[in-house]
Amino acid sequence: MGSTTNWKLEDHPKLQKGKTIAVVVLDGWGEANPDQYNCIHVAETPSMDSLKKGAPKTWRLVRAHGTAVGLPTEDDMGNSEVGHNALGAGRIYAQGAKLVDLALASGKIYDGEGFNYIKECFDKNTLHLIGLLSDGGVHSRIDQLQLLLKGASERGAKRIRVHILTDGRDVLDGSSVHFAEILEKDLDDLRKKGIDAHVASGGGRMYVTMDRYENDWSVVKRGWDAQVLGEAPHNETVKFGHVTFFWNGNRSGYFNQEMEEYVEIPSDSGITFNVKPKMKAIEIAEKARDAILSRKFDQVRVNLPNSDMVGHTGDIEATVTACKAADDAVKMILDAIKQVGGIYVVTADHGNAEDMVKRDKKGQPLLDKNGKIQILTSHTLQPVPIAIGGPGLAPGVSFRKDLPDGGLANVAATVMNLHGFVAPADYEPTLIEVVDN
């Protein structure tokens, strides 16, 4: 007899069911020391400021980088993909960078069907490698490329061509020269060993090949022309997948279409996000408000991308505007929760807008050779806030004090509790406790 899995959750002994819960994820909203480069601090954010006053009972910080979200080390900044994975999964799973590290360290990567397939071409053909070239850690790790070049050459690759995409987003603008020099030295070492190894083409991220946001064929075509045809230019929709695909454990589509509804607000296209930093925050909030007031859903889940997407542009003034817009959206959602007697959970997936400048070891802003500050366009290692509240929050509910290192993966069990259920035993522990008055 085969065993069947019981998917029914145990009822929480102290928390009732039936409350509408709004889960709001502020993208790129971390907590850092207040100064002029902390756009969240500079911006007018009365809603988020009000939530912070609930500390430590209903506001706290959680970890959103490194091992807390399945990345290899504490030097690895969080990102939207791993952040939403952790928020949705309620457990910490090894993410892409860590899995690749393990596969390279063990040699497993060379035993797989994929490598053995391309290995067949090594005698007479060329191994082409294409990818982002930086140590940003979000979408690129140059040390992994270095190991892959070494491993492939040791396993018979005689002709290698690398097609590089420069970063300038997860790392400092202009740092591509440094990474290109590292790569070129490794390729030169391979050439001294008789391997024909060179850079074949290149292009800037967001201009060549890496179209992430707008399904812009011209970006893909420029990459095709450079990497395949031989030309070599050297030169809201945005977060929809994060609260669906990544939140659901890298799973596409509905779990139950009768109980779920996905709403995508088209992002502005053809412009950089600092041109219209308010993006579609209010439109998103309006849709969330209407869903809450309909009382049709047990949970309404929202991503507000402003602080991350505008923060990546490096435009401090625009990022301040973006943070205010996100805060305005939070207010609209919280007001709706108040009307239906519901509960809110407001958090973030990683840091960004809270620190917009590169700093030295003492925490002071770094200057370039012209005396200007070096703008930071990447994510950060900062923790992120989480706040709970609303008229539906039971008396006696507060954040526990025995989980100082809690992270994003602890949020899922917390939300389950607020829905009136006990989380599965293999979930990271809930952040809340219920103290009888």
Which residues are part of the catalytic machinery?
Answer: 80
* Burial letters 268-277, b for 16+ CB under 10 A, else e: beeeebbebb
CA distances from residue 15 to 378, 411, 435 in whole angstroms, order as listed: 40, 16, 11
Do you find a cis peptide bond into 383, omega within 30 degrees of 0?
A: no
Contact 355, 30 (CB under 8 A): yes
Helix axes 96-106, 142-154, angle to 10 degrees: 30
Distance CA 422, CA 77 (A): 31
Distance CA 298, CA 20 (A): 5
Distance CA 262, CA 187 (A): 47
Query: In angstroms, what is the C-alpha Rg of the chain?
Result: 23
Residue 338, judged by CB atoms within 10 A of its CB (0-12, 13-18, 19+), counts as middle
DSSP bridge pairs for 202: 164
Tokens representing 245 are 């695909």
CB atoms inside a 10 Å sphere around CB 62: 24
Closest CA to 301 of 74, 87, 97, 114: 87
Closest CA to 27 of 266, 312, 420, 249: 312
